[in-house]
C-alpha cells in the first residue's frame, strides 16, 4: 500500500535545508538501515507546498515528538505538510522499519488511514544525511527527492527564525512569560493567561502552558498551574521553573528533566507576599536561586538547599547605610554568588560586596521608566547592562511630544570604568549575549504593546548589525506620554548560541546557532525621485545608490541607511521616521517578508547654501544692526563683549560696537566703529564701506567728524581688520533727516535726505536731496520735490546697482497716496514716474528693470499706465523700465507679517524674501512656489524671522532672528542662538 503523502509533484529541493556536515557516501537501497534515515527530510513542490518526513529512534522520539511512551513500540516516523514557516500540526505518526530497500510503516495517527494500516514505499536512492529519493506513482518523474537537515528547518520563517506556539490556546494574551535554552539547544517556555481555566476549542484548558521545542516541526505543549509571574533556567539535566501563584500569591518551584514526559516535581518556596514586579531563576554551584523584586521595593533571594528545602538568603544594606530597596529591571549572580541588580528607581547597578551593595553609576544617566533592560556578569567578571536612557518623542527633532521609542545603550563595566555603545532607537531591551561573545540585545523597534522584535549585535568598534526576529509590520504607538509597561519581551540564550524570544508567549521565536542560521533572500528596489540628487548608503556596504537601484538582501535584515544629499539638495522623503534620523543621522531600513517595492527616496533641490549662527563663546547672542554680503563674505555691525562665533570657531575681537567680517574662508576680523552706520556694503576690491550720518561727534582713527549743529555725511573704509580711510561726502543742515541710504554692488553710495529749511547751503534749491557718490569717488547732489518736506509723507526708497539709481519719494501734499520714482544713470536724472494709490514696501534695481512692491490703499492702483482695479489683493509687484516707463503691475495675494521684505531680480524672474504667517520665512519666485524655501514657524514657539538681507547676484543673504529649534533644510539649529545668517542661492 502506498502512503498518501507522496501524491504531490517534486519540483525543487530546498537548498538551504541541508545541514550536510558529517554526510556520508551513497548507500545501496538494499543496505539501508533505520539509523541511516534518522533526521528531517524536506521536499518542496513548484507551488511552494512542503512535505517533511522525520525519522527517529524510539528513545529520541519520546523526547522530541508528541507521542506517549506506550505508543513508541519501535522507531518512529512523522509527516508534516504545509508551506515553509507554516507546516501546521502533525499530519501522520507511525512506527517504521526498513527491509531490503523498502520503507515499512505502521500508522499510529493519520487522518486518511486507520491506526494499524501498513504502508510500503520503495527507497530508490540515499546519500546519508544529504538526499533521499523515494518512489512515487503520482509524481511526473515517478519519484520524489528530499533533502536532509538536523532540525525541521521548514518550520522556520523566511528570516531564518523558528516561530512556534507557546500556548495551548493562541487566542489569548499572556501577561507573564519566561524562557530558557538548554545545553542541547532546546527551548523551554512558560506562559500564563490572565485568568483561570478558559474555553478554547472543544473544551476548557489550563490557563498556563509549558512549551518545549527541540528542533522538531512543532513544540510539545503541556499544562501548568495558573500564575502571575514566572522565572526559568536550565542546567545540564534539569528545567528549573518558579512562579507566583495566581490566586494565593505564594511562590512555588518546579523541576523536571530536560526531555521526556516525566511530570514536574513541585515545592513551595515562600508564603503570600506583596505583588511581584520582576523575578528571575538564577543558578549557582548547582543550586537554584529565586530572585524576587516586589512592587513595594523589597528584594528577596531564596536558595534551594536540598530537595523540598528553601531558605531566604540574607542580603546586606547599601554601602551608604540605606536599606536595600529597588525597582529591579533585571538581576544576576556573579561567579562568587554575589547579587548584581540593574535598578530603574535609583538608575544604578547594585553590586553585592563584603561591606554591602556598591552603587555603580551607569554609563549614561537615566533608566527610562517602563522600558525594561538587562544585566549579566560574564566569565571575566565584567558587568554588562542594556537599557533605554532617554525617550524619543514624536516631534521632528525627537524631543517632546508623545513617546514613540527610546535611546538604547549597551555598557560593559570592567571594575573601574564603563565602555558603552549606542544602540540607536530601541525599546524594551533584553541581553542575549553569550559568555564573552559579542554583545547582543533583543528589543522592540519602538513603543507599543507588540511592535516588531529585533536582535542587534555590537561590534568592538561600536558598529551595529541587526536583524528582525518577527516579520509582522506595525507602526509606533503614540497614544500617551510614557511607555506601556508590562508588555516587555522575554529573551534567553543557550550554551550553543540558540536565542529564544517572546513578546507575550503566545508565539516563541527561536534563532538557531550562527552555523545553522540561513535566510531567504529578496530583491528591493529603491526609487530615486525629486528635483535634487544625492547618495543613499548602508553602513554594511550592501546598499550604495545615487539613482534608482535594486539590491538583493536577506529577509529580516536591517540596514543602517545614511542619506547624503548633493551640495544643492536636501532629503525630502525616505523610508523611516524623522525623529530617528534627527537624533542619529541614520534610519534602520527593515526588510520584512512583505516589504513593498519600490521604496521611494526623494531628494529635493534646496536654495539653502549655508547657515551661519552668530553668538559668543558663552552662548549669549549678538544683535546685528547692519548687514552686507558679497561673494561669500559677510559683514555685520554688532555690540560684543570681545568675542564672536560666526558660523565657526570663536574669534577674539574688540569689545563694544564693532564691524565684524567673516571672510569666505571662515576667518573673522573686526574693527571698532563709532556707531551703527546708516548703510553697509562690500566693494569690488574687498573693502568694507560704512555710510554714517554724523549728527554727533564720531571718532575715527583719522580724527573726529560731525556734531549736532554741523552734521556731516561720511563714508568709512575698512579692510583686513584695520581702518583704511574716511571720505567726507557732504556737510548738511542741522535739521537734516536721513530717509534712505545704501551702497551698491558697483562701489557707489547714496543717501536720500530731507530738510525743512532746504539745502541752499549746498547750492541745491530743494527740500529733499539725493546724494550720490560715484564709483570714482566724486559726489553728485540732485534736488528732489523742492516744494515739500517728503520726510512727513511716508516711505522713501533707494536702490543702487550697475551705475544706476532709483529713488522713491512720497508726496504728502497730494490727497491720494502718491510717490514719485526718479531714475538716474551715473548720477544724472533719466526719467521720473508717479505711482498712485499705494505705499512702497520694497524696491530693487535689476539689470533690465526696476522692481517695487506696493501696498494699495485707495481702491485702485496706477504705476503710470492707468489704474489697475483690485479686490482682495494685498500687494502689487510693479515693474518699470530703467528710464521710468511703466511695464506691468501684478497683483500678489500675500500676507506680510512683521519683519523684513526684500526683492531682487534674476533672469528667471523676481525673487523675494519675506516673513511668513506664524513668524517664519518665505523665499522664492513671485507667484511660483516650485522654487524656494519656506519655514512657517509653529505653535511651539519655533520661529525664523527675516530682519535684514543683501543680494549679491548669486545669493540672497538674510539675517534671521531665530527662536527654538528650526530645520533650515541643510541643518537644524537649536535654541542656543538668537541670530543667524542664511545664504539662499538665486536660481
Contact 548, 542 (CB under 8 A): no
Mapping DSSP to helix (H, G, I), strand (E, B) and coil, where does residue 321 land? coil
Number of neighbouring beta carbons within 10 Å of residue 953: 13
How much is the pLDDT for 5?
32
Number of neighbouring beta carbons within 10 Å of residue 593: 16
Per residue in 927-944, is it b (16+ CB within 10 Å) or e — as a string?
eeeebbbebebbeeebbb
Torsion of CA 660, 663, 664, 665, to 10 degrees: -120
Largest CA distance in the chain: 131
Rg, the chain, Cα only: 40
* DSSP string covering 35-51: HHH-EEEEEE-TTSEEE
Ranges in the chain, pLDDT < 50? 1-22, 171-173, 195-199, 202-205, 479-486
Strands 309-313 and 966-967: unpaired
Q: Which residue has 556737510 as its cell numbers?
A: 731
Per residue in 833-866, is it b (16+ CB within 10 Å) or e — as a string?
bebbbbebbbbbbbeebbbbbbbbeeeebbbbee
How much is the pLDDT for 937?
64
Mapping DSSP to helix (H, G, I), strand (E, B) and coil, where does residue 60 land? helix
Alpha-carbon span 655 to 617, nearest angstrom: 13
Mapping DSSP to helix (H, G, I), strand (E, B) and coil, where does residue 276 land? strand
Local structure of residue 15 (DSSP, 8 states): G
Contact 800, 748 (CB under 8 A): yes
Pick from 955, 956, 963: nearest CA to 979: 963
| Residue 687: burial class (beta carbons within 10 Å; 0-12, 13-18, 19+) | middle
How much is the pLDDT for 304?
97
Among left, alpha and beta (phi > 0; psi -120 to 50; other), residue 192 is beta
Contact 408, 458 (CB under 8 A): no
| Residue 418: burial class (beta carbons within 10 Å; 0-12, 13-18, 19+) | middle
Alpha-carbon distances of 502 from 69, 160, 244, 956, rounded to whole Å: 30, 16, 20, 57
How much is the pLDDT for 21?
45
How much is the pLDDT for 810?
87
Any idea what the Cα angle at residue 623 is, between residues 622 and 628, rounded to 5°?
110
Alpha-carbon distances of 742 from 137, 729, 801, 885, rounded to whole Å: 98, 14, 10, 24
Amino acid at each position: 500500500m502506498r502512503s498518501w503523502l507522496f501524491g504531490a509533484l517534486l519540483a525543487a529541493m530546498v537548498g538551504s535545508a541541508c545541514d550536510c556536515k558529517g554526510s556520508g557516501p551513497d548507500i545501496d537501497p538494499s543496505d539501508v538501515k533505520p539509523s541511516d534515515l534518522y533526521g528531517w527530510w524536506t521536499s518542496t513542490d513548484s507551488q511552494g507546498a512542503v512535505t517533511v518526513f522525520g525519522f527517529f529512534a524510539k528513545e529520541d522520539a519520546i523526547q522530541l515528538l508528541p507521542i506517549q511512551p506506550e505508543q513508541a513500540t519501535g522507531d518512529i516516523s512523522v509527516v508534516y505538510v504545509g508551506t515553509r514557516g507554516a507546516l501546521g500540526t502533525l499530519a501522520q505518526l507511525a512506527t517504521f522499519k526498513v527491509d531490503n530497500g523498502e520503507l515499512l510503516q505502521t500508522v499510529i495517527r493519520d487522518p486518511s488511514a486507520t491506526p494499524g494500516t501498513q504502508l510500503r514505499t520503495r527507497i530508490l536512492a540515499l546519500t546519508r544525511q544529504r538526499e533521499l529519493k523515494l518512489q512515487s506513482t503520482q509524481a511526473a518523474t515517478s519519484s520524489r527527492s528530499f533533502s536532509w537537515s538536523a532540525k525541521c528547518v521548514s518550520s522556520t520563517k523566511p528570516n531564518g527564525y523558528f516561530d512556534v506556539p507557546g500556548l495551548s490556546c493562541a487566542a489569548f494574551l499572556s501577561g507573564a512569560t519566561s524562557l530558557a535554552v538548554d545545553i542541547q539547544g532546546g527551548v523551554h517556555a512558560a506562559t500564563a493567561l490572565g485568568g483561570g481555566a478558559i474555553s478554547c476549542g472543544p473544551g476548557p484548558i489550563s490557563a498556563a502552558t509549558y512549551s518545549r521545542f527541540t528542533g522538531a516541526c512543532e513544540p510539545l505543549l503541556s499544562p501548568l498551574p495558573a500564575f502571575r509571574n514566572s522565572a526559568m533556567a536550565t542546567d545540564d539535566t534539569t528545567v528549573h521553573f518558579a512562579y507566583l501563584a495566581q490566586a494565593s500569591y505564594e511562590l512555588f518551584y518546579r523541576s523536571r528533566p530536560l526531555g521526556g514526559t516525566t511530570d514536574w516535581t513541585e515545592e513551595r518556596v515562600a508564603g503570600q507576599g506583596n505583588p511581584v514586579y520582576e523575578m528571575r531563576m538564577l543558578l549557582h554551584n548547582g543550586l537554584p536561586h529565586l530572585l524576587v523584586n516586589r512592587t513595594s521595593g523589597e528584594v528577596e533571594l531564596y536558595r534551594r538547599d536540598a530537595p523540598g528545602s528553601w531558605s531566604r538568603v540574607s542580603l546586606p544594606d547599601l554601602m551608604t547605610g540605606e536599606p536595600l530597596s529597588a525597582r529591579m529591571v533585571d538581576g544576576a549572580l556573579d561567579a562568587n554568588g554575589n547579587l548584581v541588580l540593574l535598578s530603574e528607581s535609583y538608575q544604578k547597578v547594585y553590586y553585592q560586596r563584603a561591606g554591602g551593595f556598591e552603587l555603580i553609576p551607569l554609563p549614561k544617566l537615566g533608566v527610562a521608566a517602563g522600558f525594561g533592560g538587562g544585566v549579566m556578569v560574564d566569565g571575566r567578571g565584567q558587568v554588562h547592562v542594556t537599557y533605554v536612557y532617554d525617550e524619543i518623542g514624536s516631534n521632528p527633532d525627537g524631543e517632546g511630544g508623545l513617546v514613540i521609542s527610546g535611546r538604547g545603550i549597551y555598557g560593559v563595566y570592567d571594575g573601574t570604568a564603563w565602555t558603552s555603545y549606542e544602540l540607536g532607537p530601541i525599546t524594551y531591551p533584553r541581553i542575549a549575549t553569550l559568555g564573552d561573545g559579542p554583545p547582543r540585545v533583543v528589543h522592540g523597534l519602538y513603543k507599543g504593546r507588540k511592535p516588531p522584535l529585533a536582535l542587534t549585535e555590537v561590534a568592538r568598534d561600536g558598529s551595529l548589525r541587526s536583524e528582525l526576529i518577527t516579520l509582522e509590520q506595525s507602526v509606533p504607538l503614540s497614544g500617551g506620554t510614557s511607555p506601556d509597561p508590562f508588555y516587555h519581551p522575554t529573551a534567553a540564550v543557550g550554551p550553543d548560541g540558540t536565542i529564544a524570544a517572546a513578546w507575550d508567549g503566545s508565539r516563541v521565536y527561536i534563532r538557531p546557532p550562527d552555523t545553522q542560521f540561513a535566510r531567504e533572500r529578496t530583491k528591493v528596489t529603491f526609487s530615486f525621485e525629486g528635483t535634487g540628487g544625492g547618495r543613499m548608503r548602508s553602513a554594511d556596504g550592501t546598499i550604495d545608490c545615487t539613482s534608482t537601484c535594486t539590491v538583493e538582501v536577506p529577509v529580516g535584515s536591517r540596514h543602517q541607511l545614511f542619506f547624503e544629499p548633493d551640495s544643492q539638495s536636501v532629503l525630502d522623503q525616505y523610508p523611516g521616521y524623522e525623529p530617528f534620523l534627527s537624533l542619529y543621522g541614520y534610519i534602520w531600513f527593515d526588510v520584512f517578508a512583505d516589504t513593498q517595492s519600490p521604496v521611494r527616496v526623494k531628494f529635493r533641490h534646496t536654495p539653502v547654501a549655508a547657515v551661519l549662527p552668530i553668538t559668543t563663546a558663552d552662548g549669549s547672542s549678538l544683535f546685528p544692526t547692519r548687514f552686507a554680503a558679497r561673494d561669500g563674505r559677510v559683514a555685520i555691525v554688532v555690540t560684543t563683549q570681545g568675542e564672536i562665533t560666526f558660523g565657526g570657531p570663536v574669534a577674539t575681537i574688540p569689545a563694544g560696537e564693532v564691524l565684524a567680517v567673516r571672510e569666505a574662508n571662515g576667518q573673522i576680523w573686526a574693527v571698532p566703529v563709532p556707531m551703527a552706520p546708516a548703510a553697509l556694503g562690500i566693494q569690488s576690491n574687498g573693502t568694507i564701506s560704512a555710510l554714517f550720518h554724523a549728527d554727533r561727534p564720531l571718532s575715527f582713527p583719522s580724527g573726529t567728524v560731525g556734531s549736532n549743529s554741523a552734521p556731516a555725511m561720511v563714508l568709512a573704509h575698512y579692510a583686513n581688520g584695520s581702518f583704511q580711510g574716511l571720505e567726507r561726502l557732504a556737510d548738511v543742515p542741522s535739521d537734516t533727516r536721513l530717509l534712505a541710504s545704501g551702497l551698491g554692488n558697483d562701489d557707489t553710495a547714496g543717501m536720500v535726505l530731507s530738510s525743512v529749511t532746504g539745502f541752499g547751503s549746498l547750492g541745491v534749491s530743494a527740500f529733499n536731496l539725493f546724494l550720490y557718490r560715484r564709483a570714482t569717488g566724486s559726489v553728485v547732489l540732485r534736488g528732489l520735490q523742492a516744494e515739500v518736506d517728503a520726510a512727513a509723507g511716508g516711505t522713501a526708497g533707494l536702490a543702487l546697482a550697475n551705475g544706476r539709481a532709483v529713488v522713491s519719494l512720497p508726496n504728502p501734499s497730494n490727497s491720494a497716496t502718491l510717490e514719485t520714482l526718479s531714475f538716474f544713470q551715473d548720477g544724472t536724472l533719466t526719467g521720473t514716474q508717479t505711482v498712485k494709490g499705494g505705499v512702497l514696501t520694497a524696491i530693487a534695481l535689476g539689470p533690465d528693470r526696476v522692481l517695487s512692491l506696493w501696498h494699495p490703499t485707495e481702491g485702485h492702483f496706477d504705476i503710470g499706465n492707468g489704474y489697475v482695479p483690485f479686490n482682495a489683493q494685498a500687494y502689487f509687484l510693479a515693474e518699470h523700465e530703467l528710464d521710468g516707463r511703466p511695464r506691468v503691475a501684478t497683483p500678489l495675494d500675500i500676507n506680510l507679517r512683521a519683519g523684513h521684505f526684500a526683492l531682487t531680480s534674476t533672469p528667471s524672474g523676481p525673487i523675494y524674501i519675506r516673513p511668513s504667517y506664524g513668524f517664519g520665512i518665505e523665499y522664492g519666485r513671485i507667484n511660483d512656489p516650485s522654487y524656494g524655501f519656506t519655514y512657517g514657524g509653529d505653535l511651539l514657539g519655533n520661529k525664523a524671522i527675516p530682519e535684514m538681507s543683501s543680494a549679491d547676484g548669486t545669493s540672497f543673504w538674510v539675517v534671521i532672528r531665530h527662536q527654538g529649534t528650526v530645520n533650515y533644510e541643510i541643518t537644524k539649529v537649536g535654541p542656543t542662538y538668537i541670530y543667524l545668517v542664511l545664504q539662499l542661492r538665486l536660481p
